[in-house]
Structure 1
Amino acid sequence: MIVDQARYRDGQRTGCQDIHAELQAIRSHRRAEAEAENATPSSAAGGDGPDPTGSGAPSSDFLWVGLKDPSTETFDRVVGDQLHLHPLAVEDAVQGDQRPKLERYDGGYFAVLRPLRYLEDTQDIESGELMVFLEEDVLLTVRLGEATPLDGLRSRLEHEQPEALAQGPWGVFWAILDLIVDQYLDIEDRVQEDLEELEAGIFSADRRVTSEQIYRLKREVLEFKRAALPLQRAMRLLLGPSSPVPMEEMRLYYRDVADHLNLVIDNTESQSRLLSDMLSAHLAQLGVRQNEDMRRISAWVGIAALPTLVAGIYGMNFQVMPELTASVTVGGREVYYGYYLAIGFMLLICLGLYVVLHRAGWLGPSLTERLRAEQERDRQRRADARGGEPQRRSSAS
């Protein structure tokens, strides 16, 4: 469907009831300007010939049409034969699922952009698609999906930045790129907050982070990279020696967008590497905790095995065992001490083995307990530092 359509001249919006009629009027006006320039004395005296855009300046009279989720029939009805859109570009715009790119076709350019949207409830990144057809006197934007940030852009340009509209289609295209890259920066800040929260949870004592959470955030970062990284090549084309941007001053604005995009890509690469390290650290901690659990189990099994061995020996029902009949006379009463001797021996070896295993670290504090103790010491050190700061200031004064 058609979202909006308007004709712009010198940054001001004018009515547009019929796309084809307005486009013909724009081109007729441009031809008239070219003919008038050809008729000037400077041209007749051997000038460089006609320049309908005014010494390389962009056209300030153009048509901006916005479509959303169009079909091939919609393209045929809206565009008709006035725009010479390449069938491959039209197919990409209708079907979607394209990588960000900038391609040149006869008479114009075709750009694919990937706007993103951060969902607060699920902490997911939703991707949309924005196709832009650029010609000298027309700009056609095609939105696919809901994550497209153009709802307020046209109104903002009309009321706050008419100078961008005065630069023609390439001025509007800069505004679109600037909006999308600024959106990337905002989403990157949100992802960084999620990453720092996960990083704190990995090394916390309550083990509140799972491998699934880390992998999920890494997947969102990869989605981010798929949107931003291919756009870097398109920006190099816009700033290269054969740049289609008509004015050097306008290229400065494109260069600023490219700088922001490079910053986004660098930070995203760092986040991806950090998430890989976090996942490795988390898995290593799980392995350490499992090893600690196995050592604890093995230690207690070893402690229980020795008294079991002693009890097994005395449970074999031999007729002659010296300790069974060993006795002493206490107060004229004969006391058999074999049972007490066996129990005491079992307790003694259990205690000795416990001391040995505890000193070896098999029965010491777990990793969780050590992390909790370390966090408590850190909090205490920070509290002591804050408490000592006023005293140092007062003594210094």
Structure 2
Amino acid sequence: MHTRLYRNGVLEKQGFPIEDVSDYVSDPACVIWFDLCAPTAADLNVISEELGLHELAVEDVLSDHQRPKLDIYDKHLFITVYGVHVEEDRLDPIEVNAFVTANALVTVRENDRFDIGEVIKRWDAGPHLAKHGVAFLLHGLLDYVVDGQFDYVQDLDTHAEELEETLFDEVPVNAREMQRTMFTLRKNMVRLRKMTMPMREVVGTLLRRDQDLISSEEMIPYYQDVYDHVLRVSEWVDSLRDLLANMRETRLSQQGFRLNEIMKRLTSWAAIIAVPTAITGFYGQNVPYPGTGQPWGFWMSTIVVAVTSVGLYAVFKKKDWL
């Protein structure tokens, strides 16, 4: 069971059944956290009645692909964020919802690929802040989510730089593989941008002075640090998106330039061959060749044509003209 009980800023109990939450939630000195992973509608209805959650917030949990947001209700806050999960070079965001009341934090994970254990480690790393209650718990969650996004955008930046260097590399590269890599980067960048851009509004709303959640001056710098990371990630994502767009345009320009070079060479050779062909065709020249009128002459000319064609194909393929 992912449950915790803090009493007067001290961790008193953890791993107890969720059914015992009702015994502590009415005590103002207690702060409760528990986690639900892929809950059913019946599970949510139970905690909704216990904590007085709004029906629209519960409905949003059951709906997929919510936008990162912070909704303010009379008795609680509802927050939706997305954790980073990469599988086979593909970004697969994990939705994480949080119900925030005066003395309780409920996290609802879409699946177990979001490592809630890392969030617990962050809480354990700063026990001196536990006295700030739910603000302390929520900071650990948001800090882990934003740091995961920050680490991932760093990885994307590294891949983009490596791809940028290959654009002007003298060693020939596989054009199809480069196109696939560029497409994957752009697709992941779009998904990451959808996750990170609304986070500025989420954390910014928490920092507003009219919010009672962060009432302690000691917790404000920690949330400002998270907000700073959110801004850095957002700006980084925008710059990488521009970089990938420039790389795509550069790649298209290179392909057009290379195609023009190939066409110039082929046109030059075609012009050279066309001159003797036109002269001999105009005069109707037809000189005897070895094997004229003989079967072996036909086969020899056929072999010469085949060998020459294969040779030209090999040369063009080596130069990556085909």
What TM-score bracket applies, with the shorter chain setting the length? 0.7 to 0.9
Name which of 113, 130, 145 aligns with 2:111. 145
SS in 1 for 2:231: helix
Whole-angstrom CA distance in 2 between matches of 1:95 and 1:84: 20
When normalised by structure 2's length, the TM-score is 0.81
For 2:56, which of 81, 85, 88 is the aligned residue? Answer: 88
Which 4+ runs in 1 deviate beyond 6 A? none
* Residue deviations 1:32-88 (CA, integer Å, cap 9, x gap): xxxxxxxxxxxxxxxxxxxxxxxxxxxx621111000001111123x1522111111
- TM-score in terms of structure 1 length: 0.67
1:186 aligns with 2:151: yes
Moved more, 160-169 or 10-19: 10-19
Q: Identify the match of residue 102 of structure 2 among 136, 152, 155.
A: 136
The answer to whether the 8 Å contact 1:118/1:126 transfers is yes
What's the CA shift for 1:149?
Answer: 3.1
Q: Which amino acid aligns with 2:272?
A: I
In structure 1, the residue matched to 2:22 is: 23
The reply to whether residue 201 of structure 1 matches residue 166 of structure 2 is yes
Q: Secondary structure at the match of 1:130?
A: strand
Q: 1:4 aligns with which of 2, 5, 11?
A: 2
Tell which deviates more after alignment, 305-314 or 276-285: 305-314
1:70 aligns with 2:65: no
Cα deviation, 1:265-289, whole Å, max 9, x if unaligned, reads 1111100000000001101111111
The 3 A distance-change label for structure 1 pair 156 and 316 is closer
CA deviations on 1:175-196 (whole Å, 9 max, x unpaired) are 1111111111211111111111
Displacement of 1:155 in angstroms is: 4.4
Kindly indicate whether the alpha-carbon contact (under 8 Å) linking 1:101 and 1:113 is maintained by their aligned counterparts in 2: yes
Query: Is structure 2 residue 243 aligned with structure 1 residue 278?
Result: no
- Could you tell me how far 1:146 is from its partner in structure 2? 4.2
Aligned identity (percent) is 27
> Unaligned regions of 5+ residues in structure 2, if any?
287-317
**Separation in 2, partners of 1:147, 1:264:** 22
SS at structure 2 position matched to 1:81: helix
Query: Aligned letter for 1:61?
Result: C
Q: Is 1:220 equivalent to 2:188 in the alignment?
A: yes
Q: What letter corresponds to residue 117 of structure 2 in structure 1? A: D
Gaps of 5+ in 1: 31-59, 318-367, 370-397
Q: Please point out which of 109, 120, 124 is paired with 2:77.
A: 109
Residue 259 of structure 1 is matched in structure 2 by 228
Alpha-carbon distance, 1:17 to partner: 4.5
Residue 232 in 1 paired to residue 200 in 2? Answer: yes
Relative to 1, partners in 2 of residues 1:141 and 1:155: Cα closer, same or farther, differing over 3 Å?
A: same
Q: What is the aligned partner in structure 1 of residue 211 from structure 2? A: 243
Q: Relative to structure 1, is the Cα distance of residues 308 and 21 closer, same or farther in structure 2, using a 3 angstrom cutoff?
A: closer
Matched-pair contact (CA < 8 Å) for 1:128–1:146 = no
Match of 1:296 in 2: 265
What secondary structure, in the 3-state scheme, does the structure 2 residue paired with 1:102 have? Answer: strand
Count of residue pairs the alignment pairs up: 284
Which protein is bigger by CA-based radius of gyration?
Answer: 1
Residue 177 (structure 1) aligns with: 142
Alignment correspondent of 1:125: 91
The CA distance in 2 between the partners of 1:74 and 1:127, in whole Å, is: 23
Counterpart of 2:49 in 1: which secondary structure?
A: coil
State the SS of the aligned residue for 1:183. helix
Shift of 1:172: 0.6
Q: What do residues 83-119 of structure 1 show as CA deviations (whole Å, max 9, x unaligned)?
A: 1111111111122311111111121100001111234
Indicate the residue corresponding to 2:312 in structure 1.
none
Cα distance change, pair 216–25 in 1 and its aligned pair in 2 (3 A) = closer
Q: Summarize the alignment of residues 349-360 of structure 1 with structure 2, pairs less than 5 Å apart.
A: none
Deviation at 1:21, TM superposition (A): 5.0
Partner of 1:340: none
Contact 2:3–2:17 (Cα < 8 Å) also in 1: no
Measured after TM superposition, the shift of residue 26 of structure 1 is 4.3
